[in-house]
Amino acid sequence: MQSIRVFAPATVANIVCGFDVLGFAVNAPGDEVILRIIGPPGVRIRAIHGDGGLLPLDPCRNTVSAVVMRYLEQTGDPGCGVEIELFKKMPVGSGLGSSAASTIAGLFAINTMKGNPLGQSQLLAIALEGERIACGQGHADNVAPALLGGFVLIRSYEPLDVIRLHTPAHLVCALVHPQIEIQTRDARRIIKKQIPLSDTVRQMGNVGAMVAGLYQEDDRLISRSMQDVIIEPTRAVLIPGFYRLREIALEQGALGFGISGSGPSIFALAASRGSAQMVVEALRKELFRDGIDSEGYVSSVNREGPSILEGEPASGEP
Ligand code: HSE
């Protein structure tokens, strides 16, 4: 096999209560990578489609090529020739784990081509370096669910300890990406560095209850757990009408609503596809009333992480 085409899913980090420690993957949107083994040594980006020219083609600065280079060094094959074509199928800087999806697609592709010498924990460690390149900090709540699929808990960063949680089959995600710009770096900079003990207690209760809610498939417990008293009050100001949007999502039957990762995307979990569809429509309508265009997605939770796609796209779009 000289080339491979891989899909990796978008992800919702934090899931409201679990800043930097909870995340889940969705089946749509997601990114695609075609990776080819070529004769001349070195890793190069052949093309990036769908990013509007935003992402760097320089292999040292692009996260996908940078992690593939790191992978080849780590597996003792630094001279291997690799050509990468990236198909962005989701907005960049959207809070949907865009860089993580590309990174995981690239790593999964090269690992598969090489006969899977590295396991998930080694791939995750390399992917975290990619996140550092993309947003200055190595948080794992996008790369871990993108690689493992399903709901994921990061128990510890040092050492990295990632736990795949039970993923109820009926949960559906409503995602809306408003056309406003928020950089993860900026959204992290504004967070308070000191928090009261009482808030920490509430947050710990919610994270624990969310994990229990997933295992018990208890929608009402999941719903009660989707509260954030630490990060959201600061970040909500970045999304116009945030609290009104939450009211609307809950009125439409969402179990819970919040910021996806560091935003600007917002998401809701719902107990059915029909309910998630209504949430997406209502949220987009409200944003539009405020003069904000948006894109909406309704997706089941992705359970397997990246997957190999058959064949090559004709050209340009897959
Ligand atoms: N947990 C990170 C944050 C995710 O909220 O800053 C960024 O997508």
> Quick check: 103 and 97 in contact, CB under 8 A?
no
Give the domain-ending residue among 165, 196, 224: 165
The residue type of 116 is N
Task: Find the mean pLDDT for residues 141-160.
Answer: 97
Pair (212, 153) in one structural domain: no
> pLDDT (tens digit, 9 = 90+) per residue, 203-262?
999 999 999 999 999 999 999 999 999 999 999 999 999 999 999 999 999 999 999 999
pLDDT of residue 1: 60
Pair (49, 24) in one structural domain: yes
The reply to whether 184 belongs to the active site is yes
Q: Which two tokens stand for residue 104?
A: 């995981």
Residues 2 and 19: their CA atoms lie apart, in Å, by 40
Pair (135, 37) in one structural domain: yes
Q: Which two tokens stand for residue 83?
A: 């050509």
Pair (74, 197) in one structural domain: no
Measured in Å, residue 21 CA sits from the centre of ligand 1 at: 9
Q: Determine which one of 32, 85, 131, 286 is catalytic.
A: 131
Pair (71, 180) in one structural domain: no
Give the domain-ending residue among 165, 193, 214: 165
Give the domain-ending residue among 165, 183, 211: 165
pLDDT of residue 318: 44
CATH number of the domain at 180, please. 3.30.70.890
Pair (97, 234) in one structural domain: no
- If pLDDT is split at 50, 70 and 90, which confidence band does 175 have? very high
> pLDDT (tens digit, 9 = 90+) per residue, 80-90?
999 999 999 99
Q: Which two tokens stand for residue 28?
A: 């749509």
Q: Sheet containing 294-300: which strands, arranged edge to edge? A: 256-259, 266-270, 172-178, 294-300
Residue 108 resides in a domain: yes
Pair (149, 198) in one structural domain: no
CATH number of the domain at 48, please. 3.30.230.10
Pair (133, 177) in one structural domain: no
Residue 312 resides in a domain: no
The reply to whether 131 belongs to the active site is yes
> Quick check: 149 and 9 in contact, CB under 8 A?
yes
From the list 123, 174, 169, the residue with the least C-alpha distance to 146 is 123
Task: Find the mean pLDDT for residues 98-108.
Answer: 96
Residue 314 pLDDT greater than 50, yes or no? no
143, 152, 188: which to mutate for ligand 1, most atoms within 8 A of CB?
188
Residue 313 resides in a domain: no
Pair (159, 203) in one structural domain: no
Q: Which two tokens stand for residue 89?
A: 């199928």
Task: Find the mean pLDDT for residues 172-194.
Answer: 92
From the list 121, 148, 112, the residue with the least C-alpha distance to 9 is 148
98 lines ligand 1 (CB under 6 A): no
Residue 94 pLDDT greater than 80, yes or no? yes
Pair (161, 14) in one structural domain: yes
Domain around 280: 172-300
270 lines ligand 1 (CB under 6 A): no
Residue 112 resides in a domain: yes
Residue 283 pLDDT greater than 70, yes or no? yes
The total number of structural domains in the chain stands at 2
> Quick check: 263 and 228 in contact, CB under 8 A?
no
From the list 29, 13, 30, 94, the residue with the least C-alpha distance to 258 is 13
Pair (160, 179) in one structural domain: no
16, 98, 139, 183: which to mutate for ligand 1, most atoms within 8 A of CB?
139
Pair (178, 150) in one structural domain: no
Residues 149 and 143: their CA atoms lie apart, in Å, by 10
Residue 167 pLDDT greater than 50, yes or no? yes
